[in-house]
Chains A and B, each alone.
Chain A
Amino acid sequence: AQTVTQSQPEMSVQEAETVTLSCTYDTSENNYYLFWYKQPPSRQMILVIRQEAYKQQNATENRFSVNFQKAAKSFSLKISDSQLGDTAMYFCAFQGGSEKLVFGKGTKLTVNP
């Protein structure tokens, strides 16, 4: 069974600075997808970024980028130029050859003014 581990329960960063959230996963599959979702206090789970395992190039979406290390089974999220609106829970998720997303326990990120 796949597992996803987020080892940082809470993190904080100053506005305009850069922060990196960590995620590791365990799987025996070779083809899969990895995601970062953001869940603000409003509860809505919002897709931040998606990475396909067969692509070596790291995904980027504006201020958000990932460092995908397939051999190490590591998938970290870097947020550049942090904004107050980035304050939220961030969940790393894995999707292999099945129908479900497997989530980590989340990292609570606080951006301070």
Chain B
Amino acid sequence: ETGVTQSPTHLIKTRGQQVTLRCSSQSGHNTVSWYQQALGQGPQFIFQYYREEENGRGNFPPRFSGLQFPNYSSELNVNALELDDSALYLCASSLGGQRWSTDTQYFGPGTRLTVL
């Protein structure tokens, strides 16, 4: 059984650019959630995808968008990068059977994004 993987590990961008982060869910999982973790803070929920549809969203602007593919892998896209977007981006997968997934979320190793 493979765990959650994320790519790339590190990324450096400049203000105004766009970035795409990728996540492969754990085998058998159909739900992916994305979190932003600023330095010294706990993770903040960005959004969740269940069977290729957005299943809930946190307090993030529309320039944060996502996709989920038929194999349940997912992308997080951030447009018009700002300095405050510098953070660790964590992806978590779970097995959701209902609209709200309360099954345990298992995390990937994260992508460290630095915006200069």
Contacts and interface: CB of A to CB of B under 8 A. Distances in A.
Nearest to A37: B107
Interface string B92-110: 1000000011101111111
Contact of A105 (B42, B45, B101, B106): B42
B100 A103 contact: no
Interface string B66-82: 00000000000000000
Given A42-B109, A45-B90, A99-B55, A50 B45 contact: no
Interface in A29-68: 33, 35, 37, 42-47, 50
B56 A98 contact: yes
Contact of B56 (A37, A93, A99, A105): A99
B30 interface: no
A59 B55 CA distance: 29
A85 interface: no
A11 interface: no
A33 B93 CA distance: 16
Interface residues of A, number: 24
A101 B43 contact: yes
Contacts of A100: 33, 45, 48, 56, 58
B59 to A, nearest CB: 10
Interface of B: 33, 35, 40-45, 48, 50, 55-56, 58, 88, 90, 92, 100-102, 104-110, 112
List the 6 shortest-distance A-B pairs measured between CB atoms, nearest first: A103-B42, A99-B56, A100-B45, A45-B107, A99-B48, A44-B109
